[in-house]
Amino acid sequence: MTNSGDDDAAAGPARRRVIKGLGIAAGGFAAGAASGGSAVAEMPAASSSSSAMAVPVAGPWRPARGHVDITWSVDTTQKLVALTFDDGPMPDWTPMVHDILDAERVKATFFMVGERLLRNARLVHGRMDRHEAGNHTWQHKDLSLLGHEQAYRQMHRAHAAIKEITGKEAVRLRPPFGRLGGTTLSAAGRMGYDVTIWSIKMLEKTYEKHPPQLIDYIVDNTRPGTIVLAHDTGKQDRLVALRNLAPMIRRVRAKGFEFVTVSELVEAGGRPQPPKEP
């Protein structure tokens, strides 16, 4: 996917300050900004043996919270569903998605690409209040091919951009393409992240010429605890989902579902369920 055509020079002093801050942060990664950082050695990219390693060092090592949870969906009887959008923000469709969500008063989780967020910060200013911001790496690289330190840089730099621009602290990673490797998990653990995948996705290419069938597919397969994958940028076929997002939302709601963020969905899954009426 391509970045936006925004001119760096036209971004103004505010953006240059963010770039400078992120550059400083990137330079300090190897110094051990997180637990165990000073002991982590650089690993080469595109090496299946290196990227498969779930423990980045031979000696003692521990992630920030001792564990990383991976979520495809949530076990709950409550009629809750999480709508998620990947790969933005970008000028083509991100504003359209926000307009629809605002009109329908729906919460969502946006898994943002840090580099794109930095270029297109204006697109999300004042629009993220009800939504959750998640980490989709700095450059949308396949983390399953990267070593621990490289994967960590991709997450850490995006995390800094998300916090600076949205004011929100990301706590969840969605790896690009949904691909996991051992170093993806070790780097996520170092960041204190959990990993969010999905349980149903918009099959835009399949239903590009048949929008009503795409709506039926999503509505019929939404269950309590479902996490839906959509995109707010990309190839033209993805527009079939976005142009039909409002009727999709309305029909899911008509089945009694409420739209929540991923973190709210996970929290609901951890609460004891109310007893069923006899």
- Number of Cβ within 10 Å of residue 188's Cβ equals 26
Residue 58 clears pLDDT 70, i.e. is over it: yes
Average pLDDT, integer, range 167-186: 97
pLDDT of 19 reads 46
- What's the pLDDT tens digit per position in 200-210? 999 999 999 99
Q: Which of 115, 123, 101 is nearest to 22 (CA)?
A: 115
C-alpha–C-alpha distance, residues 6 and 19, integer Å: 14
Provide the token pair at 46.
């595109």
Average pLDDT, integer, range 95-117: 98
Average pLDDT, integer, range 106-127: 98
Which residue in the block uniquely carries the two structure tokens 């999503």?
A: 218
C-alpha–C-alpha distance, residues 40 and 86, integer Å: 30
Contact 183, 151 (CB under 8 A): yes
C-alpha pair distances (Å), 113 with each of 61, 62, 194, 211: 28, 27, 17, 28
Contacts of 64 by beta carbon, 8 Å cutoff, 6+ apart: 34, 35, 189, 190, 191, 192
Residue 96 clears pLDDT 80, i.e. is over it: yes
Work out the pLDDT band at 157, boundaries 50, 70, 90: very high
Residue type, 253: R
Residue 17 clears pLDDT 70, i.e. is over it: no
DSSP 2-22: PPP---GGGSHHHHHHHHHHH
pTM of the model: 0.82
pLDDT of 50 reads 84
Bridge-partner residues for 82, per DSSP? Answer: 227, 260
Average pLDDT, integer, range 29-49: 41
Peptide bond preceding 56: is omega within 30 degrees of 0, i.e. cis? Answer: no
Q: 128: part of which helix (H) or strand (E)?
A: none
C-alpha–C-alpha distance, residues 273 and 278, integer Å: 15
Which residue in the block uniquely carries the two structure tokens 């409420």?
A: 258
Q: Which of 169, 253, 269 is nearest to 218 (CA)?
A: 253
Residue type, 224: P
Residue 42: exposure state from Cβ atoms within 10 A (0-12, 13-18, ≥19): exposed
Provide the token pair at 255.
């089945």
Average pLDDT, integer, range 15-24: 48
pLDDT of 250 reads 98
Average pLDDT, integer, range 233-241: 97
